[in-house]
Amino acid sequence: MDHLLSLLIFLPLLVAAIILAVPSRFIKAIKLLTLGAAAAVLVLSLMTWFSFNPSQPAYQFVEKADWFGLQLSSFGYFQVQYFLGVDGLSIAMVLLTGIVGVIGVLSSWNLQTKNPKGYFALYLLLLASVMGCFLALDMFLFYLFFEFMLLPMYFLIGIWGGPRREYAAIKFFLYTLVGSLFILIVMIGLYTSVIDPIATAARAGLSANQNATQFLLQTGKLASENLVHTFSIPAMTEAANYIPGSMLHLLSDREIFGYPARLLAFLVLFAGFAIKIPVVPVHTWLPDAHVEAPTPISVMLAAVLLKVGAYGLFRIAFPVFPEAAVYFSSFIAGLGVLSILYGAFCALAMSDLKKLIAYSSVSHMGFVLLGLASFTTEGVSGAIYQLFSHGLISAMLFLVVGVLYDRYHNRQISGFRGLASALPAFTFFVVVAFFASLGLPGLSGFIAELLVLLGAFTSASANGLLSRWFAVLAAFGILLGAAYYLWALQRMFFGKFWIKPELQTGTTPQDLTAREYFMLVPLAILILAFGIFPHLLLDKVSPAAAGFVNTMLSEGKTNLPEMLNLLP
Amino acid sequence: MGLLLVPFVSFLILFFFGRKLPSQGDWLATLTGGISFILSFVIFTQIWTGTPQHFRWTWFSLGETTKTLDFSAGILLDNLAAVMLVLVTFISLLIQVFSIAYMHGDKHYSRYFAYLGLFTAAMISIILADNLLLLFMGWELVGFASYLLIGFWFEKKAAAKASLKAFLINRLGDVGLLLGLFGLYALFQTFDLTELNNSFSAQNPTISTYLTLIGLGLFCGCIGKSAQFPLQVWLPDAMQGPTPVSALIHAATMVAAGVYLLARCYAFFTPDALLIIAIIGTLTALSGGLAALFQHDIKRILAYSTISQLGFMVMGMGTGNPEASLFHLITHAFFKAALFLIAGIVIHAMHQGLNALPYHEEVDRQDIRNMGGLRRILPITFIAYLLAFGGIVGLPFFSGFLSKDAILSGAWAWAESKNNRLYFLIPDIGFISVLLTAFYMTRQLLFVFFGKFRLNLDPKTLRHSIRNEASVLMLIPVVLLALLSLASFFAVNPFNAASGWLYGGNQLMPQLPNMLLRAIAENHEIHVYTAFLSTTLALAGIAFAWFKYRNLELKIGRVASAYSAEPLNPIARFTFRQFYLNELYRFAFIKPALKLGKTVAFFDKKVIDGLLHFFGMIAVVGAKIIGWFDRIFIDGFVNLLAWFSGSLGKMGRNLQGGELQSYYLYALLGLMLVVLSILVL
């Protein structure tokens, strides 16, 4: 399989195209096609997962081809590549997308859709573009997929959503569009500053190797029309590939508003991804989008789409600007802790169960930021673990809310009491999901949060970046997490069975159906498995995390003084 | 390992298939309980005189292949673990047997046994853990299992609330524990207990505030789980669970974990940390004793007494005598389990008797004012109660005497070794607690077993059947446990604990140079003195209660709800309401937290979204203005231009009228203009 990664992206796209050709009265066929595509993606992602070799630090399954290029006279050569690859950071995300993709289709099965054809085609488009984001190693390609995610999401919320769907869809769209804009600005800046050394050497007719070309570049011996500008992310992470005197060169003394250009560029890029994660205070699109989105789309949104923002930090913002990331580590960790506590307090105040869970997502994604900013192997591994684990857990959480909503068309906490007596099997999965989310040992969330907090705590002695107070404050997040979940549990599920009179359907409520079991049981098993056997994931992920930490710290700490020296 | 799995497998099977098993799987739970106990006993016989065993393997590792951070998992079997194993599995087994009769006919009978299995498994994993991370996991699982069991009758609102409270308060302590673990990890890069102990004894790290803080962090876990002051408020509410569960929580599984943690981490505490531990323990012993004085609920009295006894254990830890604490933990486990199970028998009997009454729903089955004279109706239970009573009060020849005495003489010697009289407050308050214990236990004894039965029904109906006072399945565990309150099981000489097998030979914690213990053994005077004093105080407490409650003026037939719910005396009410700690927490923490949540949500909705909408509005208004501008000015300009060129064209057309004269005129005018312009410029 030479084109495993391409298949992961194009298979769902192809099926989406086929679905458009199927007459819309064959609903069953459309559903089966979608399910088949999602299942095939899962199989492919599993194949990638199992053949991935964690001990090899380089990108694997690389596919690289010139896509298009332009000679822009003296400015140089404009190069865009079709460049895919996975490493320890992305492999976990690929697997997660594969798993959640199938769950999402299953949960769409009985959705009362106005236009199933459009819905499932858009769903597959969404799946493909998310996958593309995780696989792209060319920033242009990444940006393309990143923008492409918006389109199906906008329509999926705006057409198939709840009562306030237009508002939520527009809010989501505008928020993320602003984020994309930030990313675009920095992308252009990077593009003007970075060259591809090998392509440049070929173009200039030099027989020099990569290092020699980089040397020639840094000493100004390359003619500017021969420079091949690139969007390649690996090229952007090497300081030697930056054109001397360009905007984002390490030793460029350009300042914007009195800030070194690189620091500012990092902040802008960070802001772009932070909106997607989302980080407090740019998170308010999330609760609205979740509340209005249909269940499967909420699942996709929480489990996979939010991860793209954090993944962008891992893949692009941090490695491209290591010194800025180190410089701002306390700021980022502070935002992480703020998100953890702010999200948790908001969740405590919510009266809508789905909104409560949406805010808990904000809180849990704060752990990712904190772990990332700790620059320790524990913290970064924990952050990736949290991405994966939160993907599974939040999928389950939104599914159980969906189960309730399907029965009563209501999600108000005050509308129900004592559901445990009426729906025991359902309650079992609610308890599993809630306790997984609040970090009970033996379930995957515990390992993630433990490692993040451990990393944040040891950062003070390991690399001196973060104060211990960040970990201390964040640890109270796990107390608050227990508070809002158990309180909701007590109010909705315990006590004598009672439902608000206007919600009563007259029939005895049905406990879980076979299809619902089919979605919830695998998730519960996965959550348990990754809670008891963390090495399943960590063996693949943590070498990359350690490598990430090492390069970030060594480059960040050497680059930062050099850059700051230039300032007056 | 198998030991851990047995109850856990029982949990899984019972949880998922329990209802389908014959008699809902109670036999399976008891069988696995029995197997666990036998295994524990075998382990115990091998370890106690042999060498400690340590098995470990890598659980998961972080980092690159060349340089990894390993997180290990393993089992550490030393004397401490072996004794605790026997204790936990034995008491769990007895409670399972008891529960067969007690929980008979419950809707979720098999689930109950499943939860019990989980509870025991979690506790065993705490005991066996060779590293603190694993211990923490077991620790949280114990919390989870207790959440399930306390809230077992989840349809009762109070039970649901109590389980929430227990879990949250435990979590609060766990946050501290977790931070303490992180502190140790940051120093030594390991969670492994053996390695930590080695590095502490080898490097002798300088005693610093940092280490003290780590110690206090670890102790926070104990404050939460072992219900120490000021977090003890969850334990009395945990009574909402079934009574055998209370016995399990109070004796073997949950609250014992905190003390066990202190013993496991004993080497990591600095003197400052130990002093704080001693103070907290003493406060707990006193506050638990005070709160128990005027309670009416049979289980509540026992719950407060547990708090008080746990305070004793923690005090022993803080005053440098961990072995005495552990000894008390074990003796206490037996007599407290016995007392709770006896309470269970009494409640069960009351329940049975009351079902015959028409107004039985209103009558509180657990209020001791509704009981009385039960010694004639439940004689075996009564005798068992007397044995356990001797244990908890600390009368000579009973186990509690030995262990309390060990703690108190340790505390006394500790205070003597300091150069400040204030230190004597700690053993002094300990002695006061002995007095309090004797008082409230005697009060309970008199209310429940003496006098006449105070409800309007034939006390005979309380018996299980005419021949048996209670089910045999309930009586056997109680009798066994009560017998174990006798001192002779622990020491040959009932006045000297040091002569016993458990406490004497420095067996439990051989890694500690137990200087203090040796000091006490040499200084026989302290020992005799404390033994005498505590016995006197215990007798005084009994006598005081005897004279106060001997002639109870409670009317027969008047149910307890007719009396005022709280003592009228303000001081008594203050202790009755547990010093208003619950109210304080509600006012100082819970309400502000909820309020903060509301505020933050408001901020989210109004300020952040408000700003967003404001900007959105500006954008829309701006767009409208631009649209208007576009229409009026830009389009207008274009229109103007069009109009202008149109007019110009019209003008031009007029000019080109075709008349020669006019052309001439224009040419002349033009020439004049040219000449004029040349002249002017």
Q: Which of A143-147, B258-262, B636-640, B648-652 has the lowest mean pLDDT?
A: B648-652
Say if CB A264 and CB A256 are below 8 A apart: yes
Asked if residue B588 belongs to a domain, the reply is: no
CA distance B681 to B678: 5
Instruction: Identify whether B223 is part of a domain.
Output: no
Same domain, B342 and B464: yes
Residue B161 falls within a domain, yes or no? no
To the nearest whole Å, the CA of A15 is away from the closest chain B CA by 38
More confident residue, A375 or A75: A375
B615 touches chain A (CB under 8 A): no
Cite the beta strand spans of B29-107 per DSSP E: 53-63, 68-77
Helix axes B2-17, B109-128, angle to 10 degrees: 160
Residues B474, B614: one domain? no
- Of the candidates B157, B167, B172, the beta carbon closest to that of A495 is on B157
Mean pLDDT of B439-467: 79
Given this model, what pLDDT does residue B299 score?
Answer: 87
Residue B571 sits in the same domain as residue B629: no
At B539, is the pLDDT very low, low, confident or very high (cuts 50, 70, 90)?
confident
Q: Give the tens place of pLDDT for each residue, A172-203.
A: 888 888 888 899 989 988 888 888 888 888 77
| Nearest of A382, A479, A392 to residue A443 by alpha carbon | A392
Say if B164 is an interface residue toward chain A (CB within 8 Å): yes
- Residue-level pLDDT at B497: 59
Complex confidence, ipTM:
0.89
Smallest CA–CA distance, residue B606 to chain A, in Å, is: 11
Answer whether B356's CB lies under 8 Å from B455's CB. no
Rg of chain B taking only CA atoms, in angstroms? 38
State the pLDDT at residue B560. Answer: 62
Q: Which residue from A484, A322, A486, A454 is spatially nearest to A386, judged by alpha carbons?
A: A454
Confidence band, pLDDT 50/70/90 cuts, at residue B409: confident
Q: What is the mean pLDDT of residues B114-127?
A: 85
What residues of chain A lie within 8 A of the CB of B138, using their CB?
A: 441
Using pLDDT thresholds of 50, 70 and 90, give the confidence band for residue B361.
Answer: low
The residue segments making up the domain with residue B531 are 329-575
> What mean pLDDT comes out for the span A209-228?
78
Q: Name residue A228's beta-bridge partners.
A: A77
The rounded mean pLDDT for chain B is 80
Whether residue B598 lies within 8 A of chain A, CB to CB, comes out as yes
Interval B372-382 mean pLDDT = 82
Asked if residue B649 and residue B569 are part of one domain, the reply reads no
Does residue B195 have a pLDDT over 80? yes
Q: What tokens were used for B494?
A: 């009932």
Identify the residue with better confidence: A560 or A132.
Answer: A132
Higher pLDDT, B557 or B408: B408
Please give the average per-residue pLDDT across B385-412, as a whole number: 85
Tell which of B556, B575, B594 closes a domain.
B575
**Domain end marker among B575, B595, B623:** B575
Which of B523, B549, B575 corresponds to the end of one domain?
A: B575
**Tokens coding B292:** 């128990």
Cis-peptide, bond into residue A543, ω within 30° of zero: no
Q: What pLDDT score does A6 carry? A: 87
Contact between B264 and B200 under an 8 Å Cβ cutoff? The reply is no
Q: How many CB pairs under 8 A join A and B?
A: 139
Supply the pLDDT for residue A125: 93
Task: Please state which of the ranges A94-103, B475-484, B491-500, B505-514 shows the lowest mean pLDDT.
Answer: B505-514
Mean pLDDT for B395-417 is 83
Lowest mean pLDDT among A217-221, A276-280, B1-5, B160-164: B1-5
Give the B window 35-64 contacts with A, CB below 8 Å. 59-64
Percent of chain B with pLDDT over 70: 85
**Do residues B473 and B353 both lie within one domain?**
yes
pLDDT in tens, A448-496: 999 999 999 998 888 888 888 999 999 998 999 999 999 998 888 888 8
Mean pLDDT value across residues B408-437: 84
Query: Is a pLDDT exceeding 70 seen at residue B11?
Result: no
Output the pLDDT for position A368: 94
Lowest-confidence region among A123-132, A542-551, B397-406: B397-406
Q: How many domains does chain B have?
A: 2
Q: Which helix (H) or strand (E) holds B460?
A: none
What's the pLDDT at A77? 82
The CB-side HSE value for A229 (13 A sphere, CA atoms) comes to: 23
Q: Answer whether residue B169 is part of any domain.
A: no
Q: Is the pLDDT of residue A336 over 90?
A: yes
Residues in CB range of B71: below 8 A, 6 or more apart: B58, B59, B60, B61, B62, B133, B191
Q: Are residues B565 and B631 in the same domain?
A: no
- Residue A100 pLDDT > 90, yes or no? yes
pLDDT higher than threshold 90 for residue A112: no
Residues belonging to chain B: 681
Give residue B563's pLDDT band: very low, low, confident or very high (50, 70, 90): low
- Do residues B562 and B427 share a domain? yes
User: Quick check: is B383 in a domain?
Assistant: yes
Q: Is pLDDT above 70 for A360?
A: yes
CB of A536 within 8 A of CB of A527?
Answer: no
pTM of structure: 0.89
Mean pLDDT, residues A89-115 taken together: 87
What is the rounded average pLDDT for all residues in chain A? 87
The pLDDT of residue A141 is: 92
Which residues of chain A lie closer than 8 angstroms to B597, CB-CB? 345-349
Chain A contact for B65, CB < 8 A?
yes
**CA dist., res. B673 & res. A54, Å (int):** 90
Stretch A423-444: mean pLDDT: 91
The answer to whether the beta carbons of residues A48 and A91 sit under 8 Å apart is yes
Same domain, B368 and B421: yes
Cβ-defined contact of A350 to B63 (cutoff 8 Å)? no
* Residue B156 burial (C-beta neighbours within 10 Å; 0-12, 13-18, 19+): middle
Helix %, strand %, coil % of chain A (to 5): 75, 5, 20
Alpha helices (runs of H) in B355-486, residue ranges in sequence order: 374-377, 379-393, 399-417, 425-449, 472-483
Mean predicted confidence (pLDDT) in B250-255: 80
Nearest by CB to B175, which of A345, A420, A478?
A478
pLDDT of A269 = 92
Domain boundaries, chain A: 328-532
Quick one: pLDDT at residue A405?
87
State yes or no: pLDDT of A333 exceeds 90: yes
Within-domain flag for B664: yes
- The pairing of strands A76-86 and A228-229 is parallel
> Which chain B residues have a beta carbon less than 8 Å from that of A345?
593, 596-597, 600-601
User: Between B160, B185, B600, which is nearest A346 by CB?
Assistant: B600
Under the banding of pLDDT at 50, 70 and 90, the label for residue B559 is low
Q: How far apart are CA A403 and CA B342, in angstroms?
A: 45
Quick one: tokens of B558? 């008047």
Is the predicted pLDDT of residue B608 greater than 90, yes or no? no
Distance between CA atoms of A223 and A206, rounded to whole angstroms? 12
